[in-house]
Amino acid sequence: MALSGNLGFPRIGAKRELKKATESYWKGELSGEELKKAGSELRKANWQTQKEAGIDLIPSNDFSFYDQMLDMSCLLGNVPPRFKWDGNNIDLDVLFLMARGSKEEGSDHASQTFACEMTKWFDTNYHYIVPEFSQDTNFKISSSKIFDEFQEALDAGIKTKPVLIGPLTYLTLGKIQDKDNPNFDRFELFGKLLPLYVEILQKLEAQGAEWVQIDEPVLSLDLTDEQRSLAKSAFETFASSVPNLKILAANYFGDLRDNLQTFLGLPVNAFHVDCVRAAGELDQVLSQLPADKLLSVGVVDGRNIWKNDFEQSLAILEKAKAAIGEDRLIVSPSCSLVHSPVTLRNEAKLDDELKNWLAFAEEKLTEVTSLFQLITGQGGQEALEANKAANESRRSSSRIHNNAVKDRSNAVTEADLKRDSEFTSRQTAQREKIKLPLFPTTTIGSFPQTKEVRSNRAKLKKGELSAEDYDTFVKDEIKKAVDFQEEVGIDMFVHGEFERNDMVEYFGENLEGFAFTQFGWVQSYGSRYVKPPVIFGDVSRPKPMTVYYSSFAQTLTDKPMKGMLTGPVTILQWSFVRNDQPRSETAKQIGLAIRDEVQDLEAANIAAIQIDEPALREGLPLRRDDWKDYLKWAVDAFRLCSSGVKDDTQIHTHMCYAEFNDIIQAIADLDADVISIETSRSNMELLEAFVNFKYPNEVGPGVFDIHSPRVPEVTEMDQLLQKAEDVLPIQNIWVNPDCGLKTRQWPEVKEALKNMVLSAKNLRESQSAAKS
C-alpha cells in the first residue's frame, strides 16, 4: 500500500514560541522544566498537525532546542574536553554551553570554553554545530532525547518514525581538533561509532518503533571510495543487528551521481530521493531500485515557498508508479520542512493573489496528501483544479515582469564588472584619502538591537509611532553609537543599523519585486530566526535605501563612516527566490540595484562601503563539477554592484561561518579592497586559506565570537592577532569582531570592543618597539 511521508517539521512554532522560551531560559526567566514543557507542547502540536493532514510516516527527533547535529553529538556523548563534562546524561546546560560558549569572564578556564564551531548545513541558510573529533574521542549514549520523544509521541497516540543523522554524514561533517595529531583520520572512529548506532536502533526497536529514518545527505557530495565503503558497512551492520526494524535511508539536497549504486545497494527497506533538486536522476533510480524496496519520492519542495505544480509532480509520481507499482511508493517532501516557515494561516496582510501562489510547511503537508490521493485514485480532483488555477495566475500576472529591468540587465557588459585600477593603485589612493593607523579597528556593521529599538520599530509599523518620532529615535541611537565609538577609539565607524530589522529584509522592503510575510520565520541557528523576503518579480531600486542615515552619521564625526549594504548573492540566498527564471538573472538584477546604492553613497561622501556576502559559499552547488558556472555569475553580480566607484572609495566585504580554502580564488576575484572574516571560533584556522593563497588585498580576521555572550580578555585577542601578524603583511591587517553585533547586549559589546581596541594598540606598540 502506498504511503505518505514527511522527513521533518519546523521546530520553532508558528509565532516563534521556541525562541521566546529558549531566550527566557538563558536570561534566567524560565526554569529548565518550563523550557522542556514548552518544547513538549510544540512537539505534540507538530505531530498532531501532521496526523490531521493525513501523513502516514510522521518524524520524531526532528525537534531540537538548538541544532540536530549538536543533539547527535550529545546522544553519542561527543563533548569536547574543554567543556569539563562530568560524563553523566547531558542536560540543557551542557548542550547550550557547547553551542554558545562560557560567559564566566575572568575565570581560569574562560579562554578555553569557547563555543563549538558553527557552519552552513550544505547549501542552505541553516547552521549546524560542527562535531569535534580527536584520536582520543570515545562515544557512549549520553542523552535520552530520541527515546523520550518517541515515547512522548506514543503517549499522545502517534507512532512516529525517529530520525537519526547517519554515521557517514556525522563523521564527514565533523572536524579534527587534535593538537597532538592534527592529521588524524576521523574515519578511524567509525569502529567506535557504529556500536552506538546499533545500540540506539535496538533500543528504539524495543520501544516499539517500526520505522527509523537515517539521513545521509552527504551522499549528494563528492565522496571517496572509503566513505562509500563505510556507508555500505554501516547499513549492513544495521540490517543484521535490527532485522525487523524498517529503515528509510534518506538522501536530499542533490543528485547521487557516482554514489547512486552505493545508495541503492544499502540493505534497507526504503530509500528517499529528492526529486525537486535531482528530478533528472529518477529514471536511473527507478531502473536500479531493488525489487523489494520502497521509494520515497520527494516532489514537494521543502526549501522554497512556492505552491507545488501538481501536474509536474504527478508526472514524476506516475513515472515512479508505472515502474515500481503503487504499493512501493511513498509520497514525500523533497527534504525536511525545517527550511520552510510554519504556516500561511496567520498571514493576514499578504494580498490574496500572492498568498495563493505560496505554500508553507503546513500547506506542504496538504500538498503531499493531495498528491497521494491523486496518485492512488482516492480523490484530490478539487485540489488539482485549484492548483492549476493558482499556477496559471502566477505565470500570467503582470506583477512579475518589468521590461525596463530586463533591458538594463541585458545591456550589462564586461566593462561594468571592473574597477578603474588594480588594487595596489586603489590602496594608495585610499590611504591618502582615509588616513588610518596600522591595524585599524572597525566593526562589521550592526550594534545591539535592544528591546527599545525593536519596540519602536514595531510601534512604527503598527501606526503607534509617527515617522517623525521614529526618525528622531533612530538618530538618537546613531548618535549614542557614534559617541561610544569616539570614546572607545574605533578607527572606522559604522552607524549601527538601528533602522534595520534584518540585513536582507531591510533591503527587500526597499526594492521592487519583493514581498514580505508577517510570520514567515525560519531557523538560521539556535534562537536566531530570519524572515526571508519573497522575490516574486523583477528587481529594481526605486529610491536610495541607506544614504539618509549613513550621511547623518557622518555629520557627527570626523572619522570615516562605513556605509553598510548586503550583497546580491546574500540577498538572493537568504530570500525565497522566484523559481520561474534562472537564479543568476535574479542575482544580476539585484546587483544593478545595489550598484545604484553604492554610487549614491559615494556621492554622499561616504569613503568606505561594505557589501556583505556571507552567503557566497553557501550558494555553491554540492558537486565541484558544478562550481565554475555558479562562481562566475556570483562573482560577476558582486563586481557589478562594486565596480562603479572611484579608486579612492574603499570597498569592503564580509564573510562568516564558511570554509574559504576551496573558494579563495573566487574571493580574490571579488576584488574587494578589504575583507573581514570569521576566525575566532576556529582559532584563526580559517585565515590559513588567505595565507596559503597569498591573498593580495586587506584582511580583517575576527578576534571575538559574537555568538557567545562571554567577553574575551585582551590577552586572548592579542594571541589571535599575533597569529595574524605572523602570516599576513602588517599593513594589510584590520581588527574587527567576527560578525555584526545586533544579537548581543550593550554591556558585553562595550567591554569586548574596548578590549579589541586595546589589543590593536598593543600590536601597534609592539611594532613600534620592534622598529626602535
Active site residues: 707
Site of grid cell 529594481 = 540
Residue 676 β-bridge partners: 654, 700
Q: What is the Cα–Cα distance from 558 to 114, expressed in whole angstroms?
A: 37
Closest-CA residue to 710 (of 73, 112, 276, 5): 112
Closest among 554, 535, 555, 445 to 499, alpha carbons compared = 445
Strands 329-333 and 294-300: parallel
CA–CA gap between residue 133 and residue 136 (Å, rounded): 8
CA 99 from chain centre, in angstroms, equals 15
Nearest to 271 by CA among 280, 282, 444: 282
Three-state secondary-structure class, residue 571: helix
Closest by CA to 623, choosing from 376, 177, 258, 299, is 258
Torsions phi, psi for 294 (to 5 deg): -90, 155
- 8 A C-beta contact, residue 752 and residue 745: no
How far is Cα 54 from Cα 70, in angstroms, rounded to an integer?
31
Residue whose entry in the numeric block shows the C-alpha cell 518620532:
469
Burial track 169-185 (b if 16+ CB lie within 10 A, e otherwise): bbbbbbbebbeeeeebe
Q: Are 257 and 226 a contacting pair, CB within 8 Å?
A: no
| Residue whose entry in the numeric block shows the C-alpha cell 505554500 | 359
H-state helical runs in 505-544: 505-509
The x, y and z cell numbers of residue 545, run together, are 535605501
d(CA 735, CA 462): 40
- The grid coordinates of residue 95 equal 548542550
Torsion of CA 223, 225, 228, 232, to 10 degrees: 180
Query: How far separated are the first and last CA of the chain, in Å rounded?
Result: 83
Which residues, including other chains, have CB under 8 Å from residue 699's CB and lie 6 or more apart? 674, 675, 676, 677, 687, 690, 724, 728, 732, 733, 734
Evaluate the CA torsion angle 745, 747, 750, 752 in order and state its sign: negative
Q: Residue 214 in 3-state DSSP? A: strand
Beta bridge partners of 120: 127
Contacts of 761 (CB under 8 A, 6+ apart): 489
Q: Which helix (H) or strand (E) holds 523?
A: strand 522-525
